[in-house]
């Protein structure tokens, strides 16, 4: 009985916290790599594409939600964010925030 209550509590907490899964985020980030690069540092020294590697988790979540809502306006990213579910955003943010911020070579 205690075990069941504990498991329920753990489940409820993880649902509330919306903790992202970096490994799942890595898979989902394949479409992002075209612009943001595999390592999250952009594809070129031309800084049209912001570096995402090492950015704060909450900042990434907020940015993606803002593109979805149109609070932050950018046609390219609005299209990229349009179909992301909350769990996708959490996973992507977990992945990019877990990466090391590196300089573009």
Query: Of 10-69, which residues contact ligand HEC (CB under 6 A)?
Result: 31-32, 34-36, 48-50, 52, 60, 63-64
Q: Locate tokens 């649902």: which residue?
A: 15
**Rounded to the nearest whole angstrom, what is the least distance from the CB of residue 15 to ligand HEC in the complex?**
22
Neighbours of 2 (CB within 10 A): 6
C-alpha to C-alpha distance for 44 and 2, rounded to whole angstroms? 54
Residues 61, 62, 63, 66, CA torsion sign? positive
CB of 104 to ligand HEC, least distance (A): 14
> Which residues make up the interface to ligand HEC (CB under 6 A)?
31-32, 34-36, 48-50, 52, 60, 63-64, 72, 74, 76-77, 80, 92
């Amino acid at each position: 009985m205690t075990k069941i209550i504990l498991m329920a509590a753990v489940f409820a907490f993880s649902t509330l916290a919306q903790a992202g899964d970096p490994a799942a985020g890595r898979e989902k980030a394949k479409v992002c790599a075209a612009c943001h690069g595999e390592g999250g540092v952009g594809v070129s020294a031309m800084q049209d594409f912001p570096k995402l590697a090492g950015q704060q988790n909450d900042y990434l979540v907020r940015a993606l939600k803002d593109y979805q809502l149109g609070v932050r306006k950018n046609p390219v990213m609005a299209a990229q964010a349009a179909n992301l579910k909350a769990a996708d955003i959490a996973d992507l943010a977990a992945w990019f925030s877990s990466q090391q911020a590196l300089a573009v070579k």
